[in-house]
Amino acid sequence: MAHSPFRLVSNAGAAARVLVAAGEPEYVFRAAEDLAGDVEKITGVRPALARGDAPAPGDVFVATFPRDEWEVFDVAVDAGGVLRIAGSDPRGTMFGVYAFLDDVLGVDPLAFWNDAPYPHAESLVLDAPALHAGPPAFRFRGWFLNDEDLLTGWHNGGGRRDIDYPFYGTVVAEDVAERVAEALVRCRMNLAIPASFVNLLNPPEARLAEIFAARGVFLTQHHVEPLGTSAFTFQAYWKACGRDVPFSWTSHPREVEEVWRATAQAWARFPNVIWQLGLRGVADRPMWSADATAPVSDADRAAVISAAMERQMAILDEIGVPREGRLATVTLWGEGAVFYGRGLLRVPDGAMVVVSDNGPGWQWAGDCRPEARATAKPRGIYYHHAIFDAGPHLAPLVPPARTAAVLGEALSVGASEYALLNVANVREFARGLDASSRVLREGAAFDAAAWEMRWLERHFPVEDRAAWRAAFAAYDAAPAIQPQTGWPLFLDGHIRKTAIRKVFQPFERGEVPAGDPSWDPFVGNKPPADLFYASIYPAFNPQPGTRAAAVAALDAQSAAFARAADAAAPLFARLPEECRPFAYSQLFHPALFMRDFSAWLAALLRWQVNRALPCAAQNRVPGAEAPGDTALFLIDAILAREPEYCAGKWKNWWRGCKKIDLRDLRRRTQNLAQQSEKAL
């Protein structure tokens, strides 16, 4: 017999009660609060929320029915007329609530971050809603808030950090962290690194971890933070003790281990921790880069790192973290990937091996792909939606279909125990995060084309949907690609770095560039000798070959992003007012930004060509006016859009923009223009 429709909110404005089983943890109750809040946003009516174990007909009953399955859930109306959201474990129950909001009520999991409007309805009468989710394809699925300069500068009140670094002096405000944590679980992710170089010995930073832990997720650490200790945490610890101690496990092992033990104890108070093992130096650099006492051979360096990881496991024993059930990772990035690929690095028993992509999220690193060096150890992946210096940072530049293919490759070779996504400031990468969260849950069942159609159907009117699809396709295809590698040449991080290294710094040193030098950003035009830099060099420094080739690539890229913006413009004008912020942030603004940022660097390079040539007018490159007429105009055009991109709730969004640092680039462009005019 068919069930009657379930009346979540009736035509008369009466709402079903949401009943959460008495024994559910607080994070399940918070998910139920989000359900009630979303229903109110959709209908204007807020369901009553209560705890109890005796649902009545017409209730929504949220409860865990334990069984030996990981994050499985079912949503269905039972014979008694109760809408049951039931998980195999509490996180499964929580994710069942968010799946109901997403898949049944149509609430975008990233609505806060992508400005998607909520659906509107006077009533919610549901025709026998039913959902089932088996175990996710990737067991642990997380976000790493890395290079989070916009998040740290957006809202006040997060507190201060004692860190000897140009960034991260301010802690992300609690209300901002709450919004990120909510989006994380709405996307049905279960793991987080709450900040770069997080120091739990500092109360404001510890508060970040508490906010994420309160959502029921696992906490973990970055690969520069074994047991929670980065070089900056080490320095702050001994500074507070009145001592200046070198950060060196080879020369000062007792002092390093004291801080490892202190931070491990701070992390151990949380119920779900995945421990990071390793040994690295200051910032994201090898341990030998700031330690003159470190060994010099690869074999000896790898042996030191291996020994340090064994010692870290022993410290966890000493502070009472049981071996049984302990979760630990060794993230292979830079020198770690090379050492492991050569068989020099010993991963401790009980730790899983995590391999990384090539930096900008385009493909897996060549020296340590997921299938390399077959091992019985559990394996996982570290993937970059965003990464500063190599980009992307202020614009999403890894197409969702590419992300799906790269993550799918890892899944196909069994590297599916763990997946950590580098997400920077979240807002700019909302489209990609929607796709990747579904890949990590659905695995081989994920269909990129079907996902895109569903995503477009949710957000755009039917009459323009095909045109929006074409506009997004044009945007995804816009980055200039290096033919030899298939990697992008000029993402926004690459553009900034190229301008500084190839234009501003030589100009500020008073150098006159050669006619068309080789395009190697390192001094001497030779690849770096240091193993770490050599390992990340290709992706972080893609080579167009010559300055002329760089200008041609930038021209083509700027034109391609212009086509995407031109395709979106008339569609944007036809959107209802409430839908425009979403379309602006997800396509129109990044297309305009990349159009002008690419053209800005091309203008600087054209000016540089003219500076290298004799002054006769006939030798000048057409279109290479003074930077005051070209590059300065373009950087000003980018900054002129800030009020619209940073309007409303996004006020001050670019206040913390210290990584790409558009205002510094504008200052240097103006200085170059003024000095050039004086020389004419």
- Model confidence at 415: pLDDT above 60: yes
Alpha helices, DSSP H, located in 127-170: 149-154
Question: pLDDT at position 369, please?
Answer: 53
- Model confidence at 615: pLDDT above 50: no
Q: How far is CA 197 from CA 59, 203, 250, 372, 613, in A?
A: 45, 14, 22, 29, 46
- Model confidence at 521: pLDDT above 60: no
Query: Where would I find the beta strands (DSSP E) of 83-130?
Result: 83-87, 124-126
Q: Please give, one letter per residue, the 3-state secondary structure of 511-574.
A: CCCCCCCECCCCHHHCCCCCHHHHHHHHHHCCCCCEHHHHHHHHHHHHHHHHHHHHHHHHHHHH
Contact between residue 262 and residue 234 where contact means Cβ atoms under 8 Å apart: no
Question: pLDDT at position 675, please?
Answer: 79
SS3 content of the chain, % helix, strand, coil (to 5): 45, 10, 40
The tokens describing 119, both together, are: 């659906």
Question: pLDDT at position 367, please?
Answer: 45
Greatest distance between any 2 Cα atoms in the chain: 90
User: How confident is the model over 353-362, as pLDDT tens digits?
Assistant: 999 998 888 8
Query: Where would I find the beta strands (DSSP E) of 23-180?
Result: 49-51, 60-64, 73-77, 83-87, 124-126, 131-133, 140-144
- Model confidence at 374: pLDDT above 50: no
CB neighbour class for 376 (10 Å; exposed up to 12, middle 13-18, buried from 19): exposed
Q: Which of 662, 668, 611 is nearest to 641 (CA)?
A: 662
For residue 332, the cross-strand partners are 355
User: How confident is the model over 71-87, as pLDDT tens digits?
Assistant: 999 999 999 999 999 99
Report phi then psi at 536, rounded to 5: -100, -5
Q: How far is CA 83 from CA 56, 96, 104, 305, in A?
A: 10, 12, 12, 53
Q: Please give, one letter per residue, the 3-state secondary structure of 338-365.
A: HHHHCCCCCCCCCEEEEEEECCCCCCEC
The tokens describing 254, both together, are: 């007792």
What is the rounded end-to-end Cα distance, in angstroms, of the chain?
88
Distance (Å, whole) CA 427 – CA 361: 17
Report phi then psi at 86, rounded to 5: -125, 125
Question: pLDDT at position 459, please?
Answer: 96
Question: Where is average pLDDT lowest: 231-245, 554-568, 666-680?
Answer: 666-680
How does the average pLDDT of the chain come out, rounded? 92
- Model confidence at 476: pLDDT above 70: yes
Question: pLDDT at position 539, please?
Answer: 79
The C-alpha R_g of the chain, in whole angstroms, comes to: 26
For residue 83, the cross-strand partners are 60, 77
Side chain identity, residue 16 = A
- Model confidence at 2: pLDDT above 70: no
Q: At what angle do helices 26-43 and 174-186 cross, to 10 degrees?
A: 90
- Model confidence at 494: pLDDT above 70: yes
- Model confidence at 510: pLDDT above 90: no
Element (H, E) at 332: strand 327-332
Q: Where are the domains of the chain?
A: 6-133, 140-459, 476-679
- Model confidence at 525: pLDDT above 50: no
Percent of the chain with pLDDT over 90: 79
Please state the pTM of the whole predicted model.
0.95
Element (H, E) at 581: helix 580-583
Q: At what angle do helices 547-574 and 465-476 cross, to 10 degrees?
A: 160
Distance (Å, whole) CA 38 – CA 44: 9
User: Could you tell me the CATH superfamily of domain 140-459?
Assistant: Glycosyl hydrolase family 115 (3.20.20.520)
User: How confident is the model over 570-579, as pLDDT tens digits?
Assistant: 999 999 999 9
Give the confidence band of 514 by pLDDT, cuts at 50, 70, 90: low
Q: At what angle do helices 589-612 and 631-640 cross, to 10 degrees?
A: 160
Domain 6-133 has CATH 3.40.140.10: no
- Model confidence at 184: pLDDT above 50: yes
For residue 274, the cross-strand partners are 220, 327
Distance (Å, whole) CA 513 – CA 27: 60
Average pLDDT over residues 424-443: 98
Cis peptide before 399 (omega within 30 of 0): no
Contact between residue 380 and residue 416 where contact means Cβ atoms under 8 Å apart: yes
Question: pLDDT at position 128, please?
Answer: 87
- Model confidence at 616: pLDDT above 70: no
Distance (Å, whole) CA 121 – CA 108: 16
